[in-house]
Chain A
């Protein structure tokens, strides 16, 4: 996303403080992405629908509080969504669920084969189960949402170096355990 596009979206958000209907543009653009992001952490369609609409409501109600910090407005939506998911799990006192699409798993591990080995998938699932939740969240944002470290840091309210560290630690473990080539290997 270019700097100009980020500014444009920020202007729309600013406008929606006085004209709430202007927010519709951002709602239509990001609804699906936020829905998928939440669905991946709940695996429950109805709950995701509620949390997504709650996310946009909070954003619209607090449009005046958003400060431009060089990250896209969507990063703010992701941050609210992430907080809403956390709030839900705290309230229900349940184990965090991560529902990953097979396609995304293939993207993460560039094996070259069309079909993922069943045994490897099971090993990966076991590995991901034991991974700290915050590390999983970083991986999700980095690989499934294609976010850069600056955005990840903003969404998870951590430092940029912290986001990088978490990602690389998780990836190192993945490489050591499975001897795999990971998406973004050799790239920043």
Chain B
């Protein structure tokens, strides 16, 4: 068997027969449907992006809060003043 299959036709397919497959209305409805799906996909992707950004922001906020809590409390220096020198605790 060759690389291609060659068939010989006696006649060209008639315009009338081709017209049978012509359907612009169907093409338009399929196009509208595709546009709707495209728009919905876009909205969904934007929603996911916003959600992802929100989660990231929330996590950063939480991490900052944790970091604040972990920070050591500041020491209070109490000084006793004696007569000649100052002793620091």
Contact = CB atoms under 8 A, between A and B. Distances in A.
Asked if A pairs with B, the answer is: yes
Task: Classify chain B's interface size.
Answer: 20 to 34
A20 B30 CA distance: 12
Contact of B27 (A45, A60, A136): A60
B42 to A, nearest CB: 14
Contacts of A20: 28, 31-32
A132 B2 CA distance: 10
Nearest to B11: A101
Contacts of A128: 4, 6
A129 B10 CA distance: 19
Interface string B1-34: 1111111111111010110111110111011101
Interface of B: 1-13, 15, 17-18, 20-24, 26-28, 30-32, 34-35
A-B complex: 6 closest residue pairs judged by Cβ atoms: A129-B2, A49-B21, A99-B7, A125-B6, A97-B5, A128-B6
